[in-house]
Amino acid sequence: MPKIAITGKGGVGKTTLTALLAWVYAQRSEDTIAIDADPAGNLALALGVPTELQERLRPIAQMEQLIYERTGARPGTIGTWFKLNPKVDDLPEALSVVHRGIKLLRLGSVRGAGTGCLCPENALLKALVTHLLLRPGQTLLLDMEPGVEHLGRGTAQAVDAFVIVVEPGLRSLGTAQQIQHLARQIGVQKLYLVANKVRGPEDEGFIRQHGPPLPLLGCLPWSSNALAADQAGKAIVDQAPELLLAAQQIADALGSGSVTR
């Protein structure tokens, strides 16, 4: 089962892609968990999770008592003793919600890239991400903040695909190049691009010309339906079927390895 980390510049649509792929894999009867690791925390909205379930999705990084119980130290403490390998195997089921066959878990913010900061909340979140990446039989989608903050050198090799979402603009493509550099530093080998908000062949050509030299999994077309879904707070899969079709093709490309530059 694939383990996919999705990142990119803020606003390019990585949460949209995460929601679409989660739906695709769940509809293919895969045990699917979507991890909201972006401080903005909008994955529940993109999935159309009802308000009563969203209220149960507290960021784990803010659960002070849980962090203390599992690590032996209070959040924010630095320079004190705490467990670097806390017990986390029960947390995915205990702290997630399930909507339309997709488990959703919200991490909250992690400080420090690559090796990360030496603080108990960081130790808990990294242990949890490691556990989920190494757990067999489950498809995992990690909606990350820009960068590689939720991955370390010990877990980067467990990611089957590191997907950088871009749009046809130089700022987005510049961020993608920075993310590529950071990912290579921690040992991520399988890096791909997905283009979003593509209006036609010219936009795709622009991305291929100015983007980092990485395989392009596919393109999500520009969609007014996606904007309408965001404005209405509805699931992207219900409002933008044209994006769902593109996401299915991207999932197929990930599964087959048939990607092109």
Structure confidence by residue, pLDDT tens digits, 13-26: 999 999 999 999 99
CA atoms within 13 A on the CB side of 225: 12
pLDDT at residue 117 greater than cutoff 60 = no
Measured distance CA(24)–CA(50) in Å, rounded: 19
Decide if 240 contacts 226 (C-beta within 8 A): yes
Residue 79: per-residue pLDDT: 62
Q: Which CATH number applies to 3-256? A: 3.40.50.300
Residue 147: per-residue pLDDT: 67
* Start-to-end Cα distance in the chain: 24
Relative orientation angle of helices 224-232 and 241-256, to the nearest 10 degrees: 110
Quick one: residue 201, left, alpha or beta (phi over 0 = left, psi -120 to 50 = alpha)?
A: alpha
pLDDT in tens, 131-171: 999 899 999 999 988 767 667 666 677 888 899 999 999 99
What residue segments make up the domains of the chain, in order of their start? 3-256
User: What pTM was computed for the model?
Assistant: 0.90
The pLDDT of 81-91, averaged and rounded, is: 90
Position 121 confidence tier, pLDDT thresholds 50, 70, 90: confident
pLDDT in tens, 24-70: 999 999 999 999 988 888 999 999 999 999 999 999 988 999 999 99
The pLDDT > 90 percentage for the chain reads: 63
